Structure 1
Amino acid sequence: MTTSSAGKVREWDDRRLQHDRTALVQAEMQRQHVGALVLSDGVLRRYVLNLDVPGAKLLVPVAGDPLVFVRPRDEGYVKAWHPQVRPPLGRIREDAPASTDAPGPAARGLVDCLAELGLKDEPVGIDTMAVPDLLDLVALGVRIVDAEQVIERAWTVKTADELAIYRRIARQYVTALSAFRDAARPGATEQDLAAVATVAWLQSGGEDIAQMNVCAGENMNPWRRWPTDHQLREGEFVGIDLHGRGPNGLRGDASTTFLVGDRPTGQQRDLHRRAYDYVQGVIPVLRAGRSIADAMASVPSVPAQFRAQLDNYNVAHGIGMGSSGYPHLDPRRAPIDDVLRPNQILAVECYLGEVGSPLAVKLEEQIIVCDGEPEVLGPIPVDDRLLT
């Protein structure tokens, strides 16, 4: 445990987290035979550095400390966290023609850094870059590969500190979704409920809301996603799909559905029970060491009338810094040739509703993959009245 600048005790260590993430990335770089990564995307850059630096670039060598290229205004606070800070490589030449006689300063500066590190002849992973600069690197003989393929495989396995953060995030989800449940009364609008969940998330320590869907009544099926001024009515369902960022920018993904009022119909009880039992049936099959193909073959079946819409969603998918991560257990595609690994965080999701019906239930739990039974994070609040 460490103490934050605000004096609060927390269950993770930020510097150890950054060290362990860098080690995971560099191990994956070695596995994929990549000499360096050049990261400009804010999420990928923040993952490795464990610091949000707008406009920066990060050069990650296959061994040794990453180099951070920052504007003068950011140099001070970045140096306080990370010692290897350098001036910007050069202005991105967005207005330059696609073909020029001489490479621009950004490409030349990057090649000089690669040569300094002894990596000039090694493949370099790029996430995002202006086309003129990318063409300059090609002209200078740099072999370019996709940096996201490296990061995606590295960050699928969480460090010990990230697991501690996700247990904190799970408590934030319970707080926010419980507040949502308590506010789901006749007359409230979908937008009202979105505001309640947002405030509860932020007050419980969340960083921000990456995405939130709130749907009620006929907006549940088909899933309308974005909250409207629809007023909740007695006897209808209301669902939420919350993507909240917690500490250090790590992102959760969970859904739940509640009844408005106190008198569910038999059809509502049956649909909710089917969705709940499906999610609870999927969770135990997601064990470390099991092939993804075998896990997907062991997923519980559902009646044919629900299959079309259920298959629009992953059985489960990784979560982390991005919106949806590796591995994706997509029922519409051939299974990924890989195994589930200890300390992956997965969202197990279910959207159950017949095409043409206004009724649907959306549930989604977050789990830690373990050698045995997965650890359920939360669990996410559900409407117990529909399970009795």
Structure 2
Amino acid sequence: MSGISTLHAAVPEIADSAVGLPAGLLDRVRHYRLERVRRQLRASRVPAIVLYDPVNIRYATDTSNMQIWTGRNPTRYVMVFADGPVIGFEFHNCEHVWDNVPVKAEIRSAVCWNYFNAGPEAASNARRWSREIADLLHQHAPSERRIAVDRLDPEGLDALREAGINVVDGQAIMEVARTIKSEDELVVMQAAIDVCELGIQRMHDVLQPGLTEQELWAHLHFENIRLGGEWIETRLLASGNRTNPWMQECSPKVMSKGELVAFDTDLVGPYGYCADISRTWTVGQVRPTDYQRRLYAAAYEQLHTNMALIKPGMTFNEFAERSWTMPDKFFKNRYSCLAHGIGMVDEYPSISYREDRGYDGMFEAGMTLCIESYIGDEDGNEGVKLEQQVHLTTNGCMPLSTFRFETDWL
């Protein structure tokens, strides 16, 4: 056993956000998510999983420690057994991040073998790390020599194999586990969406000619951080001729009256859940031109046609075949997918256009999804981005994001 070893049990829940939740709800969410992980491990016949992705760690344990930094620097990890303990390996002097999380876990010091931390000792540290993982597997699942890992650099993979451990893909296990949301989870997700929509309203209220794209984008960050949110995954806000093609991140460009401004929030809000919403406006909230209106009408039609199509039991390929037919002049600049899953961040599935021949699967009640549209002429100078976050029920898609569309443009 390396470093410290303490046992963290249930403790009183404290508020970690300006957005409150009903008493006990967050604990039920934590229990549900951990059991989803364990259920998927059993279904995959894998005794344990090692988690490095900070989003997967958050999902399984609701612990959070420097999410962006640890996403780049693999310095904390968690081992979850299908029928056994949760063991958290924490970064230097950071075991306190488990203090207010009622997940019964043994806490140890992480063995860091990324080059930044270990330098030329990376390989030997990786071997020491692998021996500890192998010892734990032997202790809690003595007949097993297989383990899942969600992310692993080559040194770690080689070290586990040297220790006689077979490694299987943990990303698939976690993506499937995260797919179906409980009713309590929807309440937590809605808290993030509510904060996001406050930020969107703030952007709408201040949008005037002379503002830069970056200044406008800062208002979304302000509301998110002020109300207990965490980070924003992209900087997708563009105006005028920077709206076509899409995927141009915000810049110092000064916005002019009457041009389009479009954005995609990709916001990780309170309690670690994502609010992924896109809207398009005119700078100065002026009446759009006929050309802008036609773009908006096409995006609105695509979004709402596709949202009405999705039902539990429908396959992804069936949905792609039946989805709104995009006119040829817009097709080259189409968005990367028709829809995708959403939870703590973007997640499985990602559903491609029929022409892009994506993978198949089946929609299930309990999924949360984002329906996507981007409309921009191949040779045009502006485009419209719309996106709606929904909960898939037995009756179809129910919107979770409620920020208004520009229906008077239609």
The answer to whether TM tops 0.5 is yes
Shift of 1:108: 1.2
Is the 2:114–2:122 contact (alpha carbons within 8 Å) kept by the matching residues of 1?
no
Cα distance in 1, alignment partners of residues 28 and 375 from structure 2: 41
Shift of 1:191: 1.3
147, 152, 157: which one aligns with 2:175:
152
104, 126, 132: which one aligns with 1:83:
104
Letter in 2 for 1:259: T
Cα distance in 2, alignment partners of residues 280 and 357 from structure 1: 23
Look up the SS of the partner of 1:293 in the other structure: helix
- Alignment partner of 1:327 is 2:339: no
Letter in 2 for 1:250: Y
Cα distance in 2, alignment partners of residues 107 and 228 from structure 1: 44
Shift of 1:228: 1.5
Over residues 129-174 of structure 1, what are the superposed CA-to-partner deviations in whole Å (9 max), with x where a residue is unaligned? 3433321210121110111111011101112222111222222232
Is the 1:286–1:374 contact (alpha carbons within 8 Å) kept by the matching residues of 2?
yes
- Alignment partner of 1:69 is 2:89: yes
- Alignment partner of 1:92 is 2:116: no
Change (3 A) 1:39 1:9: closer
Is the 1:33–1:123 contact (alpha carbons within 8 Å) kept by the matching residues of 2?
no
Change (3 A) 1:18 1:6: closer
Over residues 54-76 of structure 1, what are the superposed CA-to-partner deviations in whole Å (9 max), with x where a residue is unaligned? 53321111123311122562334
RMSD: 2.5
Change (3 A) 1:172 1:123: same
138, 149, 156: which one aligns with 1:133:
156
- Alignment partner of 1:108 is 2:120: no
Letter in 1 for 2:41: M
Is the 1:78–1:85 contact (alpha carbons within 8 Å) kept by the matching residues of 2?
no
Shift of 1:15: 2.0
Provide the residue aligned with 1:24 in structure 2.
36
Matches within 5 A, 1:347-366: 347-366=370-389
Cα distance in 2, alignment partners of residues 271 and 103 from structure 1: 54
Shift of 1:4: 3.2
Is the 2:64–2:97 contact (alpha carbons within 8 Å) kept by the matching residues of 1?
no
Shift of 1:96: 5.3
Letter in 2 for 1:212: R
- Alignment partner of 1:295 is 2:316: no
77, 84, 87: which one aligns with 1:57:
77
Look up the SS of the partner of 2:46 in the other structure: coil
Change (3 A) 1:271 1:91: closer
Equivalent pairs counted in the alignment come to 383
Shift of 1:80: 4.8
Shift of 1:116: 0.8
Provide the residue aligned with 2:291 in structure 1.
267
Look up the SS of the partner of 2:382 in the other structure: coil
Per the normalisation by structure 1, the TM-score is 0.90
Is the 1:273–1:386 contact (alpha carbons within 8 Å) kept by the matching residues of 2?
yes
Cα distance in 2, alignment partners of residues 105 and 112 from structure 1: 11
Q: Unpaired runs of 5+ in structure 2?
A: 1-12, 67-74
Q: Unpaired runs of 5+ in structure 1?
A: none
